[in-house]
Amino acid sequence: MPWDEIAGLVLLGVAVGAVGTLVGAGGGFLLTPILLIVYPHDSPKTLTAISLFAVWANSTSGSIAYSRQRRIDYRSGLMFGAATLPGAVGGAIVVGFVPRRAFDALMAVALAAVAVWIALHHDGRKPKQGTLRRIVDASGAEWQYRVPLLRGVLISVFVGFASSFLGIGGGVFHVPILVAGLGFPTHIATATSHFVLAQMSAAGVLTHLVQGSYGTGSGLRRSLALGVGVAVGAQLGARVSTRVSAVLIERLLAVGLVLVALRLALSV
């Protein structure tokens, strides 16, 4: 693989990692569609494997940054993360049986659907019942909310499969669900989503490694180049998140989803 391609992938990783960490989605919702466009002849299985590796590097780096800010709901994150694991393994296996053209169409529909969900459920409904959480971050800001844990666990099973199948890590689904469906404050949702993503994407990456999806050639080198970039970008995104409002974070997420969905739909 030429050095200019490696440098381009590292820079792409930095940009995707920064945006992905800022909105809590891990960057896979941007990276997989971009890879589909840049490498039109590669199989969905190979591209989702590469994207999941980058999501793992991004979410792990972002989780470290968010842990320093003390914004992760660890108790909820561990439960939701465990619930995603069976689906994450299943999605990584099933994607190998889906034709490329059908995969592009499914990706476009999924991204557009999540964008609509965010637009219609921007404020969310704060659950009146559930486990009480109280988090005080490193800056002294305090959040208090209730988490319907059983609902979150059931939803996470589906998120694990869909995210691994599409290679987008799941944060693009999990953040709006945490905010609109489970009542999480947006900044806690983005941080906790990254913590869940680190667990979920690790399961998908290991499954792809066992299946030989990366190979020993360009697939692995592309993964490593993107991984370096997104790890750096994640630290930048986490820093910026402390200065950005919750409303802006959600709007950026919705706009990004619509743009990539449209581009993919045009290529089908």
Rounded Cα distance between 222 and 220, Å, is 5
What are the residue ranges spanned by the domains of the chain?
A: 3-267
* Whether the Cβ atoms of residue 219 and residue 50 lie closer than 8 Å to each other: yes
Q: What are phi and psi of 40, to 5 degrees?
A: -65, -15
Alpha-helical (H) ranges within the chain are 3-23, 28-38, 44-69, 74-94, 100-120, 149-166, 171-176, 186-211, 218-241, 246-267
pLDDT per residue rounded down to tens, the chain (268 residues): 788 888 999 999 998 888 877 766 667 777 877 888 888 888 877 888 888 888 888 888 889 989 999 999 999 999 999 998 888 788 878 877 888 778 778 777 877 877 776 676 555 556 667 889 999 999 999 999 999 999 999 988 888 887 777 766 666 777 778 887 888 988 898 899 889 988 888 888 888 888 887 766 678 889 999 999 988 988 888 888 778 776 777 677 677 677 767 766 766 5
